[in-house]
Amino acid sequence: MLADNDGWVRNFGLYVPRTGRAFGQGHHLLAWELNRRAGFSGSEQFDALSHELAKANYPDRIVLSSEEFSSRIHLPKVIARLRRKVERLDYQLRIVGYIRPQETAVQSMYTQRLKIWAVTSDFDTFWPTAIGNRRLNYEKRFAALLEARNIQVNLYPFCRDTVGQGLCRHFLSVLGIPPDALAKFIEPPPSNVSPGPKTVAAAIAIARELEKRELRVNKENLEAGALLFRGFSKLIDADSSKFSALTPEIAQHIRGHFRESNARFATRACGCDWDRVFAAELASEPRLNVFLRACATPEEQREFDHFVATMTEAIVKFWADEGKVPNSPVLASGH
């Protein structure tokens, strides 16, 4: 949204740098450099950002946006590094973030990993281990950030109320764009939405087949695999319904697992009760929406199996043509 509207937001004193954007969009390159991801250990990106800001006569406020900024924000050394980098630019750091209930976050994590062919298990196997991920314990994840001095931190709920008024609209209002200007703002359609039930079932089947062939997703073919996933979901899911593997029992278990830490976190970060913030989510009962091949008609099973086989071969060929498939017996045999 920021990339598409950088000229418009500039009218309100917000500058969206071009430096550090990956794929022309989020500032992932800056975040990767902050996190010292392999290949991004220096200061090339932030140095380039400094040069861009100088040419722009140092705008009053700049906006950097990437979910990757949050991936290591639990580490005090990363927070200190971020503050140093921002202060060297002669700006004051302010962090705006959105958090969601863990039961939906776990499911989102599951589908995101499916999109890069990194999951071969069903959701019932995935979630009990996933809730131990440190990213989902918000009390621990944001503790160092909330304790840091001279950093303004604003955390907002990714909830039905926020989404209902428009997440981008809410974000822009937080940044100070006036209501009369936002009245003319057109909320963009959701991006990276949850796939449909058949798409998820097919992704699992394809990932298992790739695993059998000893083909593993790596940094070189990950983006290519994700690109294919975004395209093939339209071919198998005729409707627009979203996958949901949450049952009331699973949702309650996950909520119970985080209940005490969420209560402490919400009081500290939001100044109110977690159950009040996410009242609408807690009041609604999740509805199961999965595709089970064993329960499908023989014709649906044949169509599903044909799709999985065809897409598996297409992925292998795509990666091979791009030169991004690891050596394997399958490729050596000429497939």
Question: Are the beta carbons of 304 and 296 closer than 8 angstroms?
Answer: yes
Question: Are the beta carbons of 12 and 59 closer than 8 angstroms?
Answer: no
Kindly list the domain boundaries of the chain, sorted by start residue.
6-101+136-182, 197-332
State the average pLDDT over residues 228-235.
68
- Tokens in use for 144? 């160092």
Query: For residue range 139-190, what is the model confidence (pLDDT) as tens digits?
Result: 999 999 999 988 999 999 999 889 988 999 999 999 999 999 999 899 998 8
Res 332: pLDDT = 34
Query: For residue range 297-306, what is the model confidence (pLDDT) as tens digits?
Result: 999 999 999 9
- Tokens in use for 9? 């937001």
Question: Are the beta carbons of 110 and 127 closer than 8 angstroms?
Answer: yes
Q: By CB neighbour count within 10 A (0-12 exposed, 13-18 middle, 19+ buried), where does 69 fall?
A: buried
State the average pLDDT over residues 20-25.
85
pTM: 0.85
Token pair 């209501």 is found at 179
Res 329: pLDDT = 37
